[in-house]
Amino acid sequence: MSRRLPAAGSALIALLAVAACAPADSEDEAGTGSSASASTSASCAPADLDTLAAGTLTVGTDTPAYTPWFQDNDPTNGKGFESAVAYAVAEQLGYTNDQVKWETVGFNAAVQPGAKTFDFDINQFSITDERKEAVDFSSGYYDVAQAVVTIKGSKAAGATSLADLKDVKLGAQVGTTSYKAIEEQIQPSSKPAVYDDNDKAKLALNNGQIDALVVDLPTALYLAAAELDNGVVVGQLPAAGDSAEQFGLLLAKDSPLTDCVSDAVDALRADGTLEKLETEWLTESAGAPELK
């Protein structure tokens, strides 16, 4: 799930000093399985792709665009994991950076069925069967865990298990797998609070309106290091199914671009680019024990 926060400062720099890549070798949930370079296929060359605008790749994401996925709320600068991934996919497809156009699209609007104002959207979209009824996904570009973040002294701060979280007030962004994880894995005694975005959720946590927030792990690590008053990552949730939760690029249902975009993601995984970008932009999970 999750989306962007202001620059990290010294706390984030210290956190990034111990950065290591998240797992990048699990089988993708989208199931395309190809590792051939899309840019070498004539059918996936820019001249042959049925994009919204000829010769242009239009990429959507939300605003604000959150760190560590983007930096300075500017997807166009190529900084942050998802901005870098978007430009790497574009290059794999044969587009130069100046042929990439960014479009602002809200998270909830993007996952709804219907016509799209983008060729693909990158915004921490977890690949789920329910969402695939309305939209397409590329191969997964990042294996993600959900995590619980809080502040020192809260009711959630000392939790060491899922059972310890049942009686605390939890929150998450609306429509996300983070919210689903609260309901299905933690199963709290009170209904979780829902927020339009993580900025509002973070403010609620700082103000004591909720005891803890569930977000993806990289966002939790960033929040604890740079955005919350005495923030602490309680732990990460176990995988909910047989395979890892993955983020995928989101496309319109039955988009003619889906196979080519998936091939591009597969190629970036195969040649080590995704692993390199994870190492550069995302933090490791050290200090975030699994809650069972």
Q: Are residues 21 and 138 in the same domain?
A: yes
Instruction: Give whole-number Cα distances, 255 to 21, 214, 259, 284, in Å.
Output: 31, 32, 9, 34
pLDDT for 224-269, tens place per residue? 999 998 999 999 999 887 788 999 999 999 999 999 999 999 999 9
Beta strand segments in 145-253, E: 146-151, 170-173, 193-195, 212-216, 231-236, 245-252
In this structure, the answer to whether residues 23 and 56 fall within a common structural domain is yes
- CATH number of 186's domain: 3.40.190.10
> Cis ω on the peptide bond leading into residue 188 (within 30° of 0)?
no
Question: Is the sign of the CA dihedral 33, 37, 40, 44 positive or negative?
Answer: positive
Taking alpha carbons only, the member of 72, 46, 75 closest to residue 60 is 75
- Strand ranges in 155-192 using DSSP code E only, listed in sequence order: 170-173
Q: Across residues 128-139, what is the average pLDDT?
A: 97
Same domain, 95 and 55: yes
- How far is Cα 41 from Cα 31, in angstroms, rounded to an integer? 20
**What is the three-class DSSP state of 213?**
strand
> What's the pLDDT score for residue 38?
38
Per-residue pLDDT tens over the stretch 28-59: 444 443 333 334 445 899 999 999 999 999 99
Q: Is the pTM of this model over 0.85?
A: no
Radius of gyration, alpha carbons of the chain: 18
Asked whether residue 100 carries a pLDDT value surpassing 70, the answer given is yes
Domain count, the chain: 2
Is 60 exceeded by the pLDDT of residue 10?
no
- Give the range of the structural domain holding residue 217, as residue numbers without chain letter: 146-236
Spatial separation of the C-alpha atoms in residues 286 and 246, rounded to whole Å: 20
Q: Is residue 195 part of a domain?
A: yes
Do residue 180 and residue 38 come from a single domain?
A: no
Q: Which two tokens stand for residue 47?
A: 């001249």
Instruction: Identify whether residues 93 and 171 lie together within a single domain.
Output: no
